[in-house]
Structures are given as C-alpha cells and as structure tokens.
Chain A
C-alpha cells in the first residue's frame, strides 16, 4: 500500500511545519490550547491520509487546508451548541483593560476575534501566513474574488473597530488612554 511507508522527508517536513500550523490555529481561534488541539487533530488526519497528499505539491497549504476544515466544522458544531458566543465576545470588548502594557495587542486580538471566521481566515492567510490570494482561495475552497472581498471587509472592519472616533474623545492623561481603548467595543 502506498502509505505503508511514508517518506521520512515528508514526515520531517510535517514536523517543521508545526510552528506554522500553530500560528495559523492561534490566529484563527485566538486560544493557544484550542489551537494545539486543532494542530493535533490536523496532524492525525494528515498522517492517516498521507496517501492522498501528492508529493511535490504544497504540503503547507495541504496541512493548512486540513486545519481550517477541522476548525470550521468545529465552529459549526459549537454554533449549534452555544448560541450566545458572539454576544459574550462583544461584551468582552468593552472590558476595561487593567494592564496598560497590554492595550494594543490585546485590543487587536479582541478585534480579530470579533470578525466573522471566514474573514479572519482570509486575512490571516494573506496578511500573516503569506499565501497568495490564489493559494488562500484554494485552502478555503472558494473563489479568488471571494477571498479578496473577505480580506477587504476584514480590513475595513478592523479599521473601524480599532480607530478611535473624533479627536475630542482624547484627554491628556493616561486614564484617557484606557477610555479611548474602550471605544474599540462601542465602535
């Protein structure tokens, strides 16, 4: 059978792609523990279906595809289970940050989580993982135009979430900084 002896180099490549898979998973789900579970599931599925991978094609894209499919079917399952999920996330956004050093990255992470998952995926694939629109489309199983529009919508949504309103909302002291940050929640 073709998968009885999978090539050692392929396994080596799989191992070397794990950091990338974890980064993708964290960007998608925003949680390192859940991300690691996704990676584990991805590795197991990939291992069991190595015979369906065509050597010479893009292993990274193949693994990313398995991971995102795993993530999205999990999302669908969770959506059925927990209807309030989006509501609770939106509430999180207006939480007053207590660690001033956190503000920027924390807010960005939260804003990222608020995006619809398909938009977040497109943005991460193109904007962080360095895939082309074409590759991202293949990974996500949709048209190139769809990826482009998802990326655009994600970008404008993030800009909207992260930009502060008018300059008059500012004050001179650090306390105001925290208030300004809260506008991320109120948009």
Chain B
C-alpha cells in the first residue's frame, strides 16, 4: 500500500482478495503506486456479491440508520475524492511544464 494516500483511512473491510480476477476491466490511468488503490476502488464496485447489495463497496446501510448511512457515505466520498486527486498528484511533472519553466527562465536570463 503506498504511503502517500492516507492508507490508514482505507477501510479494512474492502475485499482486496476479490481483485485478482477483476483487473481486466480496469481502464483507468494506472500507475504502479496507485493501482492498489484503484483495485480497492474496483473491488468496491463489484457491488452485488452473494446477493448482498453494497453501496460503494460496503454493505448497504439501511436508510433508516440515518447517521450510519451518512457516515459511511461521507467516508466513501472522502476516499474517492482523494483517489481522484492523488492519481494525478503522484504523476511526474509532464515535460511540457519543465520546458515551459526552462523557457521562462531563459527569457528572464536574456533580459538581464
């Protein structure tokens, strides 16, 4: 588990062992460091297992539970948000930006 994406907040109950047979459908932009997270997200998406409905990977909280539904939902939303963010944040700086900054620097040097 990569350390950069708040791994401690990954819920233990999301079934990592369910991932092995299911990576083929995974077309998201994967990096080695984030694939584990996406696999977690994937396994979370195989939502109907053993006839038990799930919501974003967890057993569906009863609507009547109110607070529970809310907390589960909030935790999932937080995880998904961080996935989306860290997916990109962990990518190396694209060349175009390195070159851009170099060009700006060269321009500045030329002015001096």
Residue numbers of A with Cβ under 8 A of B are 4-6, 11, 14-15, 18-20, 22-24, 26-27, 32, 35-36, 39-40, 43-44, 47, 99-105, 108-109, 112, 123-124, 127-129, 155, 158-159, 162-164, 166-167, 170-174, 176-177, 180
A19, B92: Cβ atoms closer than 8 Å: yes
Residues from chain B with Cβ under 8 Å of A123 in the complex: 81
Judged by DSSP, the binding face of A is helix
Judged by DSSP, the binding face of B is helix
What band does the interface of chain B fall in when counting residues whose beta carbon is under 8 Å from A? 35 or more
Residues from chain A with Cβ under 8 Å of B60 in the complex: 164, 167
Residues from chain B with Cβ under 8 Å of A104 in the complex: 41-42, 44-45, 56-57, 80
CB pairs A–B below 8 angstroms (27 shown): A15-B93, A15-B98, A20-B89, A23-B86, A23-B87, A26-B84, A27-B85, A36-B94, A44-B104, A99-B27, A101-B27, A101-B45, A102-B26, A102-B28, A104-B57, A104-B80, A109-B84, A124-B85, A127-B77, A128-B81, A129-B85, A159-B69, A159-B73, A162-B55, A164-B60, A172-B48, A177-B47
Residue numbers of B with Cβ under 8 A of A are 22-28, 38, 41-42, 44-48, 51, 53, 55-57, 60, 63, 69-70, 73-74, 76-78, 80-94, 96-98, 100-101, 104-105, 108, 111-112
Residues from chain B with Cβ under 8 Å of A105 in the complex: 28, 38, 41, 45, 80, 83-84
Residues from chain A with Cβ under 8 Å of B42 in the complex: 101, 104
Given A19-B92, A43-B100, A101-B22, A124 and B63 touching (CB < 8 A)? no
Tell me, in angstroms, the Cα distance from A134 to B46 when the chains sit together.
38
List 4 A-B pairs, minimum CB-CB distance, nearest first.
A101-B25, A104-B45, A128-B85, A23-B89
Q: Which residue of B lies closest to A165 (CB)?
A: B63
Q: Which residue of A lies closest to B88 (CB)?
A: A23
With A43-B101, A180-B48 given, name 19 new contacts (CB 8 A). A5-B112, A11-B105, A14-B101, A15-B97, A15-B101, A23-B88, A26-B84, A36-B96, A47-B101, A101-B23, A104-B44, A105-B38, A127-B82, A159-B69, A159-B70, A162-B55, A163-B55, A167-B53, A170-B48
